[in-house]
Structure 1
Amino acid sequence: MDAHGRRHAGDIDPADQWVFNPNTGSYELRLTPAADETPVSYGDGARPTTPRRRRTSSAAGTESDVETTELQVPSQRSPQGGAGGGSGGGRRAANASRRKPKAKLSRKQKVLRWGGGSAALILVAGCGGVYLYLEHLNNNIDKVDVGIDNPAVTDGPANILIIGTDSRTGKGNKGYGDAGSVGHADTTLLLHVSADRSNATALSIPRDMITDIPACPTKQDDGSTKTISAEQGVRFNTSLGQRGRDPGCTWRTVQKMTGVEINHFMMADFNAVKELSAAVGGVEVCVAKDIDDPKSHLKLDAGKHTIKGEQALAFVRTRHSVGFGSDLSRIELQQQFLSAMIRKMKSSNTLTDPGKLFDLAEAATKALTVDSNIGSVKKLIGLGKDLRRVNTDNITFVTAPVVDNPEDKASVVLDESKAAPLFKMLQQDKSLTKTKKDKGGKKDDGGLGKVKPAPASEVRVDITNGGGPVGAAQSTVTWLQNEEGVALSTNAGNASENLSKTRLEYAPNQASQAAALVKMMGLPGSALKKASADAGPEEPMKLTLGKDFTEAGQPIDAPAKTPEGVKEVNAGDKNVCAK
């Protein structure tokens, strides 16, 4: 029986199908291939190595070259002959290996542990599979063509949209009520992984946030495309499921909101939380007070607890018994749970045990829906290998800054003053976690030094458009006058030249005015050009908007650190406790 078949015959342990091949010196998983398939070998710590050519016999009895991926299997368990069984020499080699002293974790095993950690982040929030490596799991994965062709990114930042749907599909989930619902974008995170893979930011998006949902094309069962019309001023969670919207609609909504180009999405249901937490033996969480939530049915005494299965799902769904009883309080629980799951997966022996790994992979892929560009285990492996370098201590969770909606206290709206610089950090690949590369660098201040910014009423500036959107100069003047109090700002029309970068020209005696404008507009030091001579008493500075200018009120340069008032949770922090 092959590994595919174990779902229908639970008494066969997939670990017993690992067979030692004396010709290659490694263990191989012996499967019964379909007529047009080639057996695939797997390896130590389940990390694919460079494919190599080997000879195999075709149905006609001739030999052909077949490219296979070889891996080496952990030797904790005794390999037994599966389909295509091993030789006696293979069994002797396996027995000999068991008599050797226990070796330290190999590099491949360490890599596998990291892959599990990244899978925790993805799976619990609503998706997963970065460590999955078995081709027979492909049939478990649901794929959606969202009409966006973004291949996996290996040479730049990676942005993955993680969606957790509250659809009651899946075993044991109808009891949560609303069984007929098509589901919503109940839990949504935008995972940004830096280009150098040194850090990652997970941005939680509140489900009750009022936003605009753009028009989005959706693929129908008959192959046709139906465009769902745009909506303004609706809850974010309606970007999925409602009116026939698919994950591509949530994708487009988040991309428009943040200005961050998304590469892929992953989505899963309630079972991802239940089954993954059980597979790793539970996840440790902390609550600062007793919890007895009648809505989620979570009952915990104050202190630390190890939770899994239904209890884990109840934990990430709880909101009425913590914080202010809102969705924002629930997000804090989810971020604590995700952080703990990542740490558990990276330190657990689960991912060095082939049997447990198979069960974990099976459960994960059954709960998984992804975009068609990564809709196979092979592609998910590639993504996982690329992202595995991020250190747990360099993963930061934040929530999109919001304020109460004055028109509806049960919902929230984006706090633009904090959200704009935060989104700019993601757009410009700026880390929210201070890594070693970030420390000690001197920030370019454009020669301003520690000059105190002048009052807005004293700032005098002429603004020209040298590459920004049409009308950028006037919209900036309007914003400066109405929002920042810069009454002496003037629209000077189009610039004589186009610039790729915005530029502010100022005189030495205008330094305090320049400092004020830098702070208001988020100008980088490189945008400042200082003249050699002082300006006249009423002479204005000159601001030329370049191609890097997007819109008034949006900072041109990302801040050096997380905007004030934006709460962070570090995945490596073991002392987080829900209040």
Structure 2
Amino acid sequence: MAFVVLAVGAAGYLYLQHLNDNIDALPDDGASTGGFQKDQAINILLIGTDKRTGSGNDGYGDKGSAGHADTTLLLHVSKDRSNATALSIPRDLIVDVPDCPTTQEDGSTKVIPGSTGVRFNTSLGQSGRTPSCTMRTVTELTGVTPDNFMVADFNAVKTLSSAVGGVEVCLAKDIDDPDSHLNLPAGKHTVEGEEALAFVRTRHSVGFGGDLSRIELQQQFLSSLMRKLKSNDTLTSPTKMVKLAEAGTDALTVDAKLKSIGKLKDLGLELGKLDTKNLTFATVPVKDNPAEKTPVTVVLKDGPAQQVFDMVKNDVSFTEVKKQEKEKKDKEEAAVAARLEGKKSEPSEVRVRVLNGGASSGSAGRELTYLQNEAGVTKSENAGNAPADIAKTTLEYAPDQADQARALAEILGLTGAAMKPGESVTNSQGLPAMTLTLGKDFKGAGVKLDATSAKAPEDLQKSTADKVECAK
């Protein structure tokens, strides 16, 4: 949008006023941070609704529906603009939708009651919920408060894809899906208009035939669209730029703080600093709902999901991005860091007592279950509550237990500062053991404690925007 506005700006004030008039906006009802800032990380909530508005869209069924949050991405752009993450939130994820104050047409405020244990997609449209309700749900789910929102309907996909002259996609197999109306052979294709909409809507013919497989298609489409937007073919074509200006301002609904070409230009300029190879598309880690005999919904994989949320919240990149050199550490910091360096014991050789020192009730037991069943630390035991609560999780160990301490620190994501050399204690079997005390910073069983040094979960569904991934 930034490139579009700069290119057409010479056309004069009246045309910019026309573009301003094109923009539809809704209040954020206090659910946002108050809008993005140029010197801070940016979090934009992108919502694709399945409301059948616009010409020809009532033929897709569900005519007259209020719509849902059918496709939702939390776009996080790092503070230094070196990288970004587009995190897809599955529509069938079971969440709690909080109470939502919503501005009515007469200017009054109505609080729409929340719901517990419902599909994420009900956070929009249902019971009169607006995009601000989806924002609140995302904050409740991830701990990240969006700065702004943008909502796109079916027409946005059709008009934007046509405005750039089509979007290149790739299929690893033939697809003939009567539900989405997509009929394409295997290979690369350029899709636009109705065919582009069919591509992002198809799900029964790819992967496992569900929404998670469709998310991969949508991420492929958006990656390709971004590459096309930043290509010289687009930026040097006045015709395409004007079409994009019309399509973008007419097809998107934004929050009231973005309702101006100037604001959209400023946001676009910030996003334009990003190299697509450092934009990662990822999906919230989920698993089939164990409460359903034949699963149709999903629930969070608690540990990996929290790890992903913390990486976004702490502005940690999912890609390898060149970092600025850190200042030299003083002697004390070097000594602390050195605690992590050296030989590590096998997990089965680690002997540790787990205490709860300020974490939520039952945390020691849950962490013990994780250590024994998933991390291979079988010589661990629950030692109950610590004598006092502590802010940060600590691991106390004797000098001859350093190998064990380093192994456990790697498993838990402990920093050198969390490792406390001292004396060993005796466990219930009368054997020397280390002491792991879970502090108030403990986030959940299996969740890495140091988010700034965390890596994305190994099985995280992700890709980068500089590549074409063929849908299988």
TM-score of Structure 1 vs Structure 2, range by shorter chain: 0.7 to 0.9
2: CA distance between counterparts of 1:290 and 1:358? 35
Secondary structure at 1:306 match in 2? strand
Deviation of the 1:488 alpha carbon:
3.5
- The whole-number CA distance in structure 2 between the counterparts of 1:153 and 1:550 is 28
TM superposition shift of 1:137 = 1.4
**What TM-score do you get using the length of structure 2 for normalisation?**
0.86
| Contact 1:456/1:516, CA 8 A, preserved across alignment | no
Answer with 438-447 or 261-270: which moved more: 438-447
Q: Amino acid of the residue matched to residue 217 of structure 2?
A: L
Q: Give the conservation status (yes or no) of the 8 Å contact 2:25–2:254.
A: yes
In structure 2, do the counterparts of structure 1 residues 543 and 72 end up closer, same or farther at CA, with 3 Å as the change threshold? same
- What is aligned with 2:357? 464
Structure 1 residues 222 and 493 mapped into 2: Cα distance closer, same or farther (>3 Å)? farther
State the SS of the aligned residue for 1:564: coil
Which is further off, 150-159 or 334-343? Answer: 150-159
Question: Which residue of structure 1 lines up, in the alignment, with residue 375 of structure 2?
Answer: none
Q: Is the 8 A contact 1:421 1:554 kept in 2?
A: yes
Q: Is the aligned partner of 1:476 residue 2:363?
A: yes
* Structure 2: stretches of 5+ with no match in the other structure: 328-333, 373-379
Give 1:141's aligned amino acid. I
Partner of residue 556 from structure 1, selected from 427, 445, 449: 449
Q: What is the DSSP-based 3-state SS (H/G/I as helix, E as strand, rest coil) of the residue aligned with 2:189?
A: strand
Amino acid aligned to 2:204? H
Match of 2:144 in 1: 260
Post-superposition Cα deviations, 1:112-171, rounded to whole Å, max 9, x if no partner, equal: xxxxxxxxxxxxxxxxxxxxx934312222222122252322222111110000000112
The one-letter code of the counterpart of 2:437 is: L
Match for residue 295 of structure 2 among 400, 409, 427? 409
3-state DSSP class of the match of 1:366?
helix
- Residues matched between the structures, number: 448
Which letter maps to 2:93? M
Match of 1:491 in 2: 385
Asked whether 1:505 is paired with 2:399, we answer no
Q: Give the number of the structure with larger relative contact order, counting CA–CA contacts within 8 Å between residues 6 or more apart.
A: 2
Find the counterpart in structure 2 of residue 303 from structure 1.
187
Structure 2 counterparts to residues 62-141 of structure 1, below 5 A:
134-141=16-23
Once the two structures are TM-superposed, the CA of residue 460 in structure 1 deviates from its matched residue by 1.8
- After superposition, the Cα gap between the structure-2 partners of 1:520 and 1:229, relative to the gap in structure 1 and judged at 3 Å, is farther
Structure with higher Rg: it is 1
**Alpha-carbon distance in structure 2 between the residues aligned to 1:215 and 1:238:** 13
1:175–1:488: structure 2 CA closer, same or farther, 3 Å change rule? closer
| Shift in Å, 1:210 | 1.5
1:169 counterpart = 2:60: no
Paired position in structure 2 for 1:530:
421
Tell me, which stretches of 5 or more residues in structure 1 are unaligned?
Answer: 1-42, 49-70, 74-78, 85-132, 466-471
CA distance in 2, matches of 1:512, 1:439: 29
Give 1:535 deviation, angstroms.
6.1
| Residue 47 (structure 1) aligns with | 6
Q: Is the 8 A contact 1:509 1:535 kept in 2?
A: no
SS of residue paired to 1:459: strand
The 1:156/1:251 distance shift into structure 2, 3 A limit, reads: same
Instruction: Find the aligned partners of 1:378 and 1:163 in 2 and give their Cα distance.
Output: 22
Query: CA separation in 2, counterparts of 1:180 and 1:415?
Result: 35
Pick from 139, 144, 150: which aligns with 2:34? Answer: 150
* Secondary structure at the counterpart of residue 349 of structure 1: helix
Are the counterparts in 2 of residues 504 and 528 from structure 1 also a CA contact under 8 Å? yes
Question: Mean alpha-carbon deviation: is it higher for 447-456 or for 355-364?
Answer: 447-456
Cα RMSD between the aligned structures? 3.0
| Cα deviation digits, residues 264-296 of structure 1 (max 9, x gap) | 111110111101111111111111111111101
1:208 to 1:439, Cα distance in 2 relative to 1, 3 A = farther
**Whole-angstrom CA distance in 2 between matches of 1:435 and 1:332:** 23
| Secondary structure of 1:494's aligned partner | coil
Of all paired residues, the percent bearing the same amino acid is 53
Asked if the contact 2:3/2:268 (under 8 Å) is kept, the reply is no
Secondary structure of the equivalent of 1:417?
helix
Q: Say if 2:160 is the partner of 1:276.
A: yes
